[in-house]
Structure 1
Amino acid sequence: MITTRRTLLAALTLALTGFATSAFAQDASTLDRIKQDKQLRIGVTSAEPWFFKDPMTEKWTGVGVAMGEKLATSLDATLVPVETTWANAVAALQANQIDMMFVLDPTEERRKAIDFPDAPLFYYAMGALVAADSAAKSWEDIDKPGTRIGVTLGTSLDKNITAMAKNAEINRFSSNDEAIAAFAARRVDVVVQFHPALVVQYSRLKLGKVILPTPVNPVPTSAGLRKETTPAFRNWISEQFAELYKNGVPDQIFNGYLKSKNIDPAGIPGLVKEAWK
């Protein structure tokens, strides 16, 4: 075969194109990829109020989805929900199947495998579902002899309430739903869970009321991100979270979701800790 100058130029161009593509794949940040593909992929799993899939339309809604839509709009991209589980979310990020997973607490163990923005997404707290006529306002009010507390076995809440309650009787259940069922059957007087989950449970039960007993200890939650050489995406997400939180957007979204479930958000603790009473 005769090698001409045109053939050499074509081969060189092809090689440079391949090199550029490879370099982009290795060195470009998630932010660059989203801007190029016009898609923001978020992990979703069945967990109200964060993620909810309508069984009829198969459309995803929820606080996490709404937050993702706001970020996608800012990037002039389309939001793409990718089904996963809480247990598989970290692996999905590492495998580049999703770009972020909302409402993932930044534990030390998770920080070893994935990244998190500096600014929190929002806050929640250990809440209590109590009788509608209960006068309890503090954990001390709840920790009384004869009071039966329901909690999900093996959770951080189980650990916390076990350390706090010295007088009340603690009943442990295998799931949140079982604890709520015990409350409905009046086999326990109080159910302890993180307060947004309690609110959703209340929406189904229509029994009792959700409170944040004092002292209230806010727990920051975040969004898991893939570890990358360049911090561009992490920094951008952190800036967005800080701005959204400052403007009270998490509360606006949470309240909107509650209303979609026919729950009046008035008096229900939101996701902005500074507004808690």
Structure 2
Amino acid sequence: MAEVIDLVSTLLGGATMVRLSRFTRQVLICVVAATSIGISIESHADDANIWQSVKKAGVLRCGAAVAPPYVMRDAKTGAYSGFFSDLCRDFGQNVLKVKVEFVDTTWDNMVAGLQSDKWDLAMALNDTPEREKAISFSAPAADDNVSFVYNKNDPRVPKQIKALGDIDKPDVTVAVMSGTAQDKAISAVLKQAKIMRLPGSDETRLALMSKRAVLVADENFANMLLTEAHPDWAVAYHPSPALAEQPVTFGVRKDTPATDIAALNKYIAEQVQSGTVNRLIKRSNQSILADMKK
């Protein structure tokens, strides 16, 4: 166990860009402990195991709903990018040794599609108690929470937001991606503001820019990109305590064997420890900012 703790300390020390919560630290200890008993995908001989089935099919299907910087899709080519897309692609190609297929979906259908075997992995899902009733989760690749972005020149927004009550007003409209953890989080705390539920991040940002919405609620990583892209007017409000702080993971079907989940967790732990996740996040952010400047 001492060796496990040492390895976890090394891992956590290298994760400078990804903020790891207490829950994440506990999960990573379990992940590294699992690797110490020599878990390997090749050791699974039972065809009922998910990864063996994927190998037989020759393709890993990744359920994809757009949520920058986790999952992004080029409108012209249909190509997927974003750090969760990169992780899914790498796990399929270099660990399972199969082709990778991204299956377009929406956040409203992400869990249902996983349950009905439309894809093998659901990308960038928040691990919530409600979802745990229906599916299982990998160890987190990142932690995130919900923040709000608004136009500092909009007279409908207080000059200084000190609490959620300052924006929970009947004349305030908050745009959010429908069916996401952000949607559920703000629905629980905003009792007077109007919630505008839209299918994707592009739509929520357009609603803000066109002033149909006063604020946009999204995950902190995504909102950070918005403020960096528009520093002249975009300002972020971060509720304290953090709103809906949750790990961001891969979702798997409920019947996925523990050994298969452990194999996926081992891969994730290696990517975090090596700094690969940090580099992928940085690359995703740079790509989005470059596109915004075009």
- The TM-score with structure 1 as length reference comes to 0.65
> What do the CA deviations read for 1:92-124 (whole angstroms, capped 9, x no partner)?
33333321111122333332332222x223211
What's 2:174 paired with? Answer: 150
What's 2:221 paired with? Answer: 196
CA contact 1:115–1:225 (8 Å) conserved in 2: yes
Shift in Å, 1:65: 1.0
The alignment partner of 1:261 has SS state of: helix
What's 1:10 paired with? Answer: none
Equivalent of 1:231 in 238, 258, 273: 258
What's 2:3 paired with? Answer: none
The alignment partner of 1:79 has SS state of: strand
- CA distance 1:34–1:173, shift in 2 (3 Å): closer
Amino acid at match of 2:242: V
- CA distance 1:153–1:116, shift in 2 (3 Å): closer
Structure 1 residue ranges without an equivalent (≥5): 1-23, 164-168, 265-277
CA contact 1:44–1:51 (8 Å) conserved in 2: yes
CA contact 1:203–1:261 (8 Å) conserved in 2: no
CA contact 1:131–1:208 (8 Å) conserved in 2: yes
- CA distance 1:258–1:91, shift in 2 (3 Å): same
Amino acid at match of 1:81: F
Identity %: 22
Shift in Å, 1:160: 4.5
What's 1:104 paired with? Answer: 125
Q: Does 1:173 align with 2:196?
A: yes
Q: Does 1:76 align with 2:97?
A: yes
Shift in Å, 1:68: 0.7
Equivalent of 2:82 in 45, 50, 62: 62
How many residue pairs were aligned? 235
> What do the CA deviations read for 1:228-251 (whole angstroms, capped 9, x no partner)?
363221111122223333444433
CA contact 1:102–1:224 (8 Å) conserved in 2: yes
CA contact 2:65–2:110 (8 Å) conserved in 1: no
Bigger Cα displacement from structure 2, 54-63 vs 136-145: 136-145
Amino acid at match of 1:58: G
- The TM-score with structure 2 as length reference comes to 0.62
Structure 2 residue ranges without an equivalent (≥5): 1-43
Task: Give the structure, 1 or 2, with the largest relative contact order (CA under 8 Å, sep 6 or more).
Answer: 2
- CA distance 1:32–1:198, shift in 2 (3 Å): same
Equivalent of 2:267 in 231, 234, 240: 240
Amino acid at match of 2:195: R
Looking at structure 2, the residues matched to 152 and 171 of structure 1 have their Cα atoms a distance apart, in angstroms, of 11
CA contact 2:124–2:250 (8 Å) conserved in 1: yes
Shift in Å, 1:60: 1.6
The alignment partner of 2:257 has SS state of: coil
Bigger Cα displacement from structure 2, 70-79 vs 243-252: 243-252
What's 1:7 paired with? Answer: none
Shift in Å, 1:192: 3.2
- CA distance 1:129–1:29, shift in 2 (3 Å): same
The alignment partner of 2:269 has SS state of: helix
